[in-house]
Chain A
């Protein structure tokens, strides 16, 4: 990695660390306890940012999948792949924090509401994306197939959301908040979102760089055998 690259990485790392510390402080110490749900409600400040990031991750995969199919730059495929991996991790967190929050507050582990269900379908789709890439007969094929799935899968997201929303209007849905967000809560939420977004960027860049290096190693290894 070039010097400029490392500098940029370090800046990002520092920023991420600062934001994460700020977020943790705000979530656990600064923001007042919500009157209805109690302490557990603080998970909200993790659940929402993580959900936002998971969608962002798959959007990035979508964009870079299109770019890769267009120009076939390997680095873009590495970013799409890395973003999907990080996205799956974050989506898993969404699916875990959701029930942890829901159970004490509403007494149910799971609700088939539009957001959670879409997250579940998203999770399944991108796990399939990762599986196809690792089960493809050659890495170059895996990249192409992945790009196709990255595009097709993402287009599904709004359709799933709409469909489940329609489905759910016939059932009562969980109420997230009464009234709007008070300003300390909003501030905490925003800081938390920023922190997790930077975390996502860091993880994705690291993972993408690793993939590029792995591909280079694979290439160097293959040369003497020809």
Chain B
């Protein structure tokens, strides 16, 4: 399918550019790790920490790491008006959105893949948690859907680095709440129970925002 091919072309181009600079991935990884470690000192060790505080710590780290990354999504297109270069191409504006989305999503997964095992080790939690992986994948998709859209807006405002978190965080509150609530039983090794309900919320969020962002993205780009 031509559409899919073009999305992947944009994605691959972003991978290449990121690999060349390596800035963003290293920065964010170090930052997220710092967050995890610092929160650990802030809360100390207690029994029951897995359920009380650890899920929150993990998701704060992933959320703020994500925000740092989303800030950069369109920065590369700002130089030399590359975004306009993309807009000249015979592609639907939503294809540009999806191309960038795949990049943001991959980026979030990359950060999670590194941070989560370290987090689990630091908190002496079991390492093999496929349910956690599922939660992370679904939440990352929601973050990326909103983050990509808002990044395109924020980059055209004057306080661009500050603007993105201010826009992004309130809107993804449902994802954060649901992710934290779903993570707690998983970390404590409890059965599915509530986890499914929370996952449903994240899935609904993902679907709604992917659809809305796809429809609305062209208005962000075109004057």
> Within the complex, are A and B direct neighbours (CB within 8 Å)?
yes
The one of A124, A147, A159 in contact with B208, judged by C-beta atoms closer than 8 angstroms, is A159
Interface members, chain B 154-198 (any A CB < 8 Å): 154, 156-159, 163, 166-167, 169-171, 173-174, 177-178, 181, 197-198
* Mask of A142-180 contacts with B, CB within 8 angstroms, 1/0: 001101110111011001101110110000000000000
State whether B170 touches A135 (Cβ < 8 A): no
Which of B79-87, B132-140, B215-223 participates in binding chain A? B215-223
Q: Bound state CA distance, A153 and B146, in angstroms?
A: 11
The one of B158, B204, B208 in contact with A135, judged by C-beta atoms closer than 8 angstroms, is B158
State whether A137 touches B212 (Cβ < 8 A): no
Interface of A is mostly: helix
A93: chain B residues at CB < 8 Å are none
State which size class the interface on B falls in. 20 to 34
State whether B181 touches A136 (Cβ < 8 A): no
Number of residue pairs spanning A and B whose beta carbons lie under 8 angstroms apart: 88
Q: Bound state CA distance, A84 and B115, in angstroms?
A: 39
B10 within 8 A of A: no
A75 within 8 A of B: no
State whether B177 touches A167 (Cβ < 8 A): yes
Instruction: Kindly name the residue among A140, A144, A147 whose own CB sees the greatest number of chain B CB atoms within 10 A.
Output: A144
State whether A163 touches B158 (Cβ < 8 A): no
State whether B177 touches A163 (Cβ < 8 A): yes
B170: chain A residues at CB < 8 Å are 121, 124-125, 128, 153, 156
Q: Bound state CA distance, A28 and B209, in angstroms?
A: 45
State whether A159 touches B204 (Cβ < 8 A): yes
State whether B212 touches A152 (Cβ < 8 A): yes
A166: chain B residues at CB < 8 Å are 197-198, 201
Residues of chain B at the chain A interface (Cβ within 8 Å): 146, 149, 153-154, 156-159, 163, 166-167, 169-171, 173-174, 177-178, 181, 197-198, 201, 204-205, 208-209, 212-213, 216, 219-220, 223
